């Protein structure tokens, strides 16, 4: 039985609003809102300088059990649920895989990654590893992984069990349709219900940090400008007004 479902994608204005904030700003903003650790720990960027923001498609893996899964890699390809998560990919989607932190089973390789890119996927995040690194790197995909392996996905101790169910990835709960933001700092999860406030608070934070960064580069007081002291608020507002006038 194929355990798969589609997702409800978040409104596009939420994706647009989050994409320029950055993982660090979003993680800090969510922390102040009570989501203490939205960061998928131990899952590292493999392609420096890449950033993505999009809805999560999820793949859940479980430990091998011969009565539940005994097929080889190609015995019946359509039983392989790692394929089915890719069938759901639309432009801008992010595939997130709970591979149980397994460092031996390469969830996707060259061919699956080529298909993913052809579908317009934004990026892949795996609590585990991939295979075929030399060929995959030629695709210039946005990837966040624990590493690489020469093994295929069911060669060792795990098997794909379900698509688009709630999973854990890097110690964070990921619900299908959550918004994933990832860059060189790592990958974070934004629940859709919290996205509007994250955008509002995150933009304010990013703006005063821009002002503070400028002042600190000029050798000004750290105590006054980071975090922004109430005594500097009038100066900050004047800077904002001047910037708005320059932008027309």
183 annotated ligand-binding residue: no
188 beta partners = 39, 181
CA gap 145, 148 in Å, rounded? 8
CA distances, 180 to each of 57, 81, 85, 144 (Å): 10, 21, 16, 12
Q: Does 112 appear as a known binding residue?
A: yes
**Residue 151 near residue 106 (C-beta atoms within 8 A):** yes
Q: Is 109 annotated as a binding residue?
A: yes
175 DSSP 8-state letter = -
Q: Is 110 annotated as a binding residue?
A: yes
Residues 126, 145: contact at Cβ < 8 Å? yes
CB count within 10 Å of CB 145 equals 24
Q: Which residue positions form the known binding site for substrate?
A: 109-112, 131
Specify binding-site residues: 109-112, 131-132
Q: Which residues are annotated as a binding site for Mg(2+)?
A: 132
């Amino acid at each position: 039985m194929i355990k798969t479902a589609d997702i409800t994608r978040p409104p596009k204005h939420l994706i647009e609003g989050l994409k320029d904030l950055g993982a660090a700003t979003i993680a800090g903003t969510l922390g102040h809102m009570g989501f203490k650790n939205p960061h998928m720990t131990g899952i590292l960027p493999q392609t420096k300088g890449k950033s993505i923001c999009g809805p999560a498609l999820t793949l859940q893996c479980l430990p091998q059990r011969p009565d539940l899964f005994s097929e080889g890699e190609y015995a019946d390809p359509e039983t392989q649920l790692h394929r089915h998560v890719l069938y759901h990919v639309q432009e801008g989607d992010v595939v997130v895989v709970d591979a149980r932190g397994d460092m031996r089973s390469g969830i996707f390789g060259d061919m699956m990654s080529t298909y993913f890119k052809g579908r317009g996927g934004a990026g892949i995040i795996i609590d585990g590893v991939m295979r075929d690194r030399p060929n995959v790197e030629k695709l210039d995909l946005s990837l966040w992984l624990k590493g690489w392996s020469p093994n295929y996905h069911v060669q060792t101790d795990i098997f794909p069990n379900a698509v688009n169910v709630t999973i854990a990835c890097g110690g964070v709960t990921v619900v299908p349709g959550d918004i994933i933001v990832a860059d060189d700092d790592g990958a974070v999860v934004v629940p859709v219900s919290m996205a509007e406030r994250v955008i509002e608070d995150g933009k304010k934070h990013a703006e005063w940090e821009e002002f503070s960064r400028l002042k600190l580069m000029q050798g000004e007081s750290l105590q006054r400008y980071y975090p922004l002291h109430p005594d500097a608020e009038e100066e900050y507002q004047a800077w904002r007004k001047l910037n708005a006038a320059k932008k027309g």
